[in-house]
Chains A and B, each alone.
Chain A
Amino acid sequence: MTGVEKRFGTTRALRGVDLSIRAGQCLGLVGRNGAGKSTLVSILSGLAEPDEGTVRFGGVEPPRAGDTARWHQWIATVFQHSMIVPDLSVAENVFLGATPRLVSWREMRARTRDIMRDWGFDIAAETPCRELSVEQLQIVEIARALARGAKCVLLDEPTAALERDAGRRLFERVRQLTDGGVAVLYISHHLEEVFEICQEVAVLRDGELVLTAPTASLSKDDLVAAMVGEIQTDSPERSRLTDTPKAPLAKGDVVLEVADLTSDSTRGRLSGVSLEVRAGEVVGVTGLLSAGVATIGRVVAGAAERSGGEVRLRGRSVPSGRRDLAQRAGIGYVPEDRHAEGFVAHLGVAENATMTITKRLSDRFGVLRPRSRAAAAAPLTAKLSLVSSGPGQPVGELSGGNQQKVTVARTLAHDPSLIVAVTPTRGVDIASKELLLDSLADAARSSGAGVLLCSDELSDLEICDRVIVLVRGEVFTEFTEPPFDRDELIIATEGIAQEAAE
């Protein structure tokens, strides 16, 4: 197979990017939110046309943009958001868009089985996709790419929704693919992953390709420096607790009491969790995805029903499953999935950022002036360094990191006495990530709010004063002394007791 080469030169989102991937190579693509990765992905997937420059597959002109069926014979993309039709079977999804006019079910299933067998995947062709896990859905998407005979697979943030083990299995599959002569373009915010499976890495910054080099010749710091640009290279990890240990916390009053909480949520059940958060304290909750980490956040914030137990804020019981009442009681909520729950895409930045405080901003007749809205939003967006063309710009047009800042701004706006943040930095670049975490820690320090940070992202936990580890919906252990040891945390989330515990 000949090499795959792509050239671009569009004006804004991408400025003259030259990039090539060879067969059997895994190329990592990294860059901060807004660096142009999404644009690159949509051009490579044949969804958008470059304004200038060309894309070539093995020296051949590509099909017209939009003719996705023909693009897929060359390159297939596994997007961040699943492109699987849940009500169809695995076989139908594998052949989605490529089914012949007359469908032979038997042949379709047989070919799906062949692909699964050839690549060592283990999913029955008849299974409805609704019943599959996120990991299995990704395999179906990869199988779809292989079924078209794609020579190049583009993985966009593939581990974002995967547990650690599943992620490791995915790496195995990526290696299989490259060994089989397939080119892989791997896009990720997680630099460790890039170092682990990519032979080469390309860095995008402000639409320009600033670095392409073999991973072996680079250190993590080099990569961060290239992503962030020279201005910030000196302190890319400034908020690490390991560097600047916080003064021992003066224990405030108990803000949140959770007693014997149970929930039947399908996305991780809880069976009797009790914990406390004090004023000014940042408490982390972590564990595997299925351990109920997100569930406890949702339940405490009133976004999901609890089936038993008690949630008390400043001694007062908070009713189950009533987000509005929980907020009025003083619980702020940064939801897990910002696209689904974090903002209204076509409304403006200011309106979204002040959505929680419309009552405070309006007069006694309920009249809310846009000017007072903008005035209230300005300090919040400034504090979070939110980049937008103005308070009226629809949030849907912002980059992922800025969208998440809007969601956090909305939460900080109503001065909550407890902030529940669920995976607040997922899919967010390193610089925004630090800003977001700092803003949460700062809210705890300056306003005395308690923070319940529910995340499976270990780097989020660096701002925590304590970390509680959940295993299968129960409190497994608690780490009370920052800095927390990464390996110990990982071992604990797997439910393995510390032998060396004293």
Chain B
Amino acid sequence: MITNSPAVAAGSDGGGTRGSWLRSMNVGVLREVALLPVIVVLIIVGAVVSPAFLTVSNFAGIGEQSSALGVVVVGESLILLIGGMDLSLEGTYGLAPMVAAWLIVPISAYGVGTDWNPYLGILVLLAVGAVIGLINGLLIVKGRLNGFIVTLGMTIVLAGLQNGIVKAQTLFNLPQSFGYLGSASVGQVPVSLIVAIVIFAATGLFLRYHRTGRAIYALGGNAAAARAAGIKIDRIKIGVYVTGSILAAVGGLMEAGRVSAVTGQQGYQEGIIFNVFAAAVIGGVSLKGGRGNMVGAATGVILLGIVQDILDLANVSNYWIEAIDGAVILFALFLARIVGGESTAEES
């Protein structure tokens, strides 16, 4: 029998005196709710800024605007969890709905003229996402290329394709069934919000209770150890890149439905990838892999959505809104690091 006490074992690693009571509580839970006070403060600020803030329709609006972003954040978070990164989700977010709409809408609305069935178009959209993710995954995992540069290059290729296909025109006149996901609502609640919540919840449960979900944490935390434990890390990594891209395509479909058009620059123009990364990191998903969860990621999305909404309601001048938006996000990152404690710090 080993005689040393757990306290001694823990203490020898240097963190002993600082409180086993903290450790005995579930640290994960603490971190998940860490941003709640911040959100409460933001809601109070919003209520002060505008009487229109605390209304059901405003919150429905926030939900509708944030759900597309949220779905992409789920995809990016999965990729971050395996220790990767995908900048090209932005490109997929634009190109996938673009290609689908192009095959659906008539020539008069700048379509190609095939006039495909909208449901077929949605299948095409998912396929485009899957193919882009597969290419990224193969280049990064099998080709052993750096994910940052591969997906940066892919972003530019995709944005170029997107703009080139329609020669910078905007596709409009989207059929109702194609735009349903982004524009319909059940009562006051937007369908996109419901779908986004379902995707968040399903992914969260998957990560927590599915063996592949646990394998994602294991290989993100220590790929060599996961490999030595017989986990098929290559297959899971490629699968995650494919899933992430499909989710980005779905996010793009929501956005297209919301504005009932696809511009030649959807995604790329708004630079959504920064918001995607910001939401994930604010929500405690580590850029180094292996740490983070869906509750946190969702909090990050909600926080950004509220900030955006307050800026809109405060009638900030259009010329300045981007600078303020960026600054607020940087501040939120800092704040999340403070409230999240040591566990959200990146190693220096």
Q: Report A's interface with B, CB cutoff 8 A.
A: 10-13, 32, 34-39, 42, 48, 51, 206-207, 229, 231-232, 301, 303, 323-324, 326-328, 333, 335, 340-347, 351, 355-356, 358-359, 361-362, 365-370, 385-389, 393, 396-399, 401-402, 410, 414, 431-432, 435
Which residues in A have their C-beta under 8 angstroms from that of B229?
327, 355-356, 410
Residue of A356, A365, A368, A431 with most partner-chain B CB within 10 A: A368
Known: A34-B8, A366-B211, A369-B209. A12 touches B16 (CB 8 A): yes
Q: Is B144 an interface residue (CB 8 A)?
A: no
- Known contacts A42-B14, A399-B13: A346-B291 contact under CB 8 Å: yes
6 other A-B residue contacts (CB within 8 Å) besides A342-B228, A368-B209:
A13-B8, A38-B14, A42-B14, A343-B225, A347-B218, A388-B9
Name the residue on A nearest B219 (C-beta): A344
CB B301 to nearest CB in A, in angstroms, measures 24
**A231 close to B3 (CB less than 8 A):** yes
With a cutoff of 8 Å between Cβ atoms, the chain A residues found around residue B12 in the complex are: 13, 34-39, 207, 399
Q: Could you tell me the distance in whole angstroms from the C-beta of B241 to the nearest C-beta in chain A? A: 19
List, in ascending order, chain B residues with CB within 8 A of A342's CB.
Answer: 225, 228
CB-defined contacts of A35 to chain B, threshold 8 Å: 4, 8, 12
Tell whether, in the assembled complex, residue B226 and residue A355 are in contact, meaning their CB atoms are under 8 Å apart: yes
Chain A positions within 8 Å of B226 at CB level: 344, 355
Give every chain B residue within 8 A of A229 (Cβ-Cβ).
Answer: 3
Residue of B with least CB distance to A42:
B14
Given A346-B290, A389-B20, do A355 and B218 touch, yes or no (CB 8 Å)?
yes
B6 partner, pick from A11, A355, A388, beta carbons under 8 A: A388
A323 to B15, CA, bound (A): 35
Contact B231 A324 (CB under 8 A): yes
A–B complex contacts, Cβ < 8 Å, 30 sampled: A10-B17, A12-B11, A12-B16, A12-B17, A32-B4, A34-B9, A35-B8, A39-B11, A39-B12, A206-B5, A207-B8, A303-B227, A324-B230, A333-B228, A340-B224, A344-B221, A344-B225, A345-B222, A346-B290, A347-B218, A355-B231, A385-B1, A387-B4, A396-B13, A397-B15, A399-B13, A410-B229, A414-B230, A432-B2, A435-B2
A344 x B210 contact (CB < 8 A): no
The CA-CA distance from A206 to B214 in the complex, in Å, is 35
Given contacts A12-B16, A231-B3, A327 and B209 within 8 Å (CB-CB): no
Q: A303-B228, A343-B225 are in contact. Are A398 and B214 (CB under 8 A)?
A: no
Q: Do B291 and A385 have beta carbons less than 8 Å apart?
A: no
Within 8 A of A (CB), among B178-237: 209-212, 214-215, 217-218, 221-222, 224-232
In the complex, how many angstroms separate the beta carbon of B243 from the nearest chain A beta carbon? 15
A367 touches B209 (CB 8 A): yes
Q: In the docked arrangement, what's the CA distance between A392 and B290, Å?
A: 16
How many angstroms from the CA of A344 to the CA of B219 in the assembled complex?
8
Judge if B41 is at the interface, Cβ distance under 8 Å. no
* Contacts from B to A (Cβ < 8 Å): 1-17, 20, 23-24, 209-212, 214-215, 217-218, 221-222, 224-232, 290-291
Given contacts A344-B217, A355-B226, contact A324 B11 (CB under 8 A): no
7 closest residue pairs by CB, A with B: A327-B230, A13-B11, A358-B211, A344-B221, A355-B229, A12-B11, A341-B228
The answer to whether B8 and A206 have CB atoms under 8 Å apart is yes
Q: Give complex CA distance A396, B291 in Å.
A: 14
- Chain A's nearest CB lies how many Å from the CB of B215? 7
Is A340 in contact with B225, judged by CB distance below 8 angstroms? yes
**Most A Cβ at <10 Å: residue of B6, B15, B222, B225:** B225
A344-B218, A345-B221, A367-B210 known; A397+B232 contact, CB < 8 A: no
A389 and B6 contacting across the interface, CB-CB below 8 Å: yes
- Say whether, besides A229-B3, A323-B228, A358-B214, A346 and B221 are in contact (CB < 8 Å): yes
Complex Cα gap A413–B3 (Å): 24
Q: How far is the CA of A429 from the CA of B78 in the complex (A)?
A: 39
Q: How far is the CB of B249 from chain A (nearest CB, A)?
A: 24
Question: Cβ of A370: which chain B residues have Cβ within 8 Å of it?
Answer: 209
Enumerate chain A residues within 8 angstroms of B9, measured Cβ to Cβ.
Answer: 34, 387-388, 397-399, 402
Q: How far is the CB of B96 from chain A (nearest CB, A)?
A: 27
Asked whether, in the complex, the Cβ of B225 is within 8 Å of the Cβ of A356, the reply is: no
CB distance from A381 to the nearest CB of B (A): 11
In the bound complex, CA of A231 to CA of B290 (Å):
41
A39 contacts which chain B residues (CB < 8 A)? 11-12, 14, 16
Nearest CB of B to A405, in Å: 9
Nearest A residue to B211, CB-CB: A358
Expressed in whole angstroms, the minimum distance between the Cβ of B347 and any Cβ of chain A is 12
Q: Once bound together, how far apart are the Cα atoms of A23 and B98, in whole Å? A: 76
Instruction: Please determine whether A328 and B230 come into contact, CB atoms closer than 8 angstroms.
Output: yes
A388-B8 Cα distance, complex, nearest whole Å: 10
Q: Please give the distance in Å from B84's CB to the nearest CB on chain A.
A: 17
Q: Are A207 and B11 in contact (CB under 8 A)?
A: yes
Residues in A whose Cβ lies below 8 Å from that of B230: 323-324, 326-328, 356, 414
Nearest A residue (CB) for B208: A370
Chain A: minimal CB distance from B83 (Å): 12
B16 and A13: CB pair below 8 A? yes
Report B60 CB to chain A, min CB distance, Å.
34
Chain A nearest Cβ from B320, distance in angstroms: 41
Closest to A327 in B: B230
Query: What are the residues of chain A within 8 A of B231 when measuring CB–CB?
Result: 324, 355
Docked pose: A51 CA to B14 CA in angstroms: 12
CB distance from A369 to the nearest CB of B (A): 7
Q: Which residue of A lies closest to B24 (CB)?
A: A389
A323 touches B11 (CB 8 A): no
Instruction: Give Cα A431 to B230, complex, Å.
Output: 29
For residue B14, give the distance in angstroms from its CB to the closest CB of chain A: 6
Assuming the A-B contacts A229-B3, A343-B222, A355-B218, are A48 and B8 also in contact, with contact meaning beta carbons closer than 8 angstroms in the complex? no
Distance, CA A367 to CA B210, complexed state (A): 4
CA distance A206 to B16 in the complex (A): 13
Q: Do A206 and B4 have beta carbons less than 8 Å apart?
A: yes
Contacts of B3 in A (CB 8 A): 206, 229, 231-232
Distance from A328 Cβ to chain B, minimum over Cβ atoms (Å): 7
A370 to B211, CA, bound (A): 11
State the CA gap A386–B229 with chains docked (Å). 19
CB-CB under 8 A for A344 and B211, given A385-B1, A389-B10, A431-B2:
no
B residues less than 8 Å from A10 (CB atoms): 17
Is the beta-carbon distance between B11 and A36 smaller than 8 angstroms? yes
Contact of A11 among B1, B17, B210, B221 (CB under 8 A): B17
Give CA–CA (A370, B208) in the complex, Å.
9
Measured CA separation A329–B3 after assembly (Å): 37
A401→B8 CA distance, assembly (Å): 13
A39 to B3, CA, bound (A): 19
Closest to A386 in B: B2
In the complex, A399 Cα to B4 Cα: how many Å? 10
Chain A positions within 8 Å of B13 at CB level = 38, 396-399
In whole angstroms, what is the CA distance A361 to B209 when docked?
A: 11
Report how far A368 CA is from B229 CA in the complex, Å: 17
- What is the minimal beta-carbon distance from B288 to any residue of chain A, in angstroms? 11
Q: Nearest CB to that of B233 among chain A residues?
A: A324
Residues from chain A with Cβ under 8 Å of B11 in the complex = 12-13, 36, 39, 207
A432 to B14, CA, bound (A): 21
When C-beta atoms are compared, the residue in chain B nearest to A36 turns out to be B12
Residues of A within 8 A of B15 (CB): 397
Give the residues in chain B near A346, CB-CB below 8 Å: 221, 290-291
Report which residue of B4, B210, B212 has the largest number of chain A beta carbons within 10 angstroms of its beta carbon.
B4
B221–A347 touching, CB < 8 Å: yes
What is the minimal beta-carbon distance from A297 to any residue of chain B, in angstroms? 11
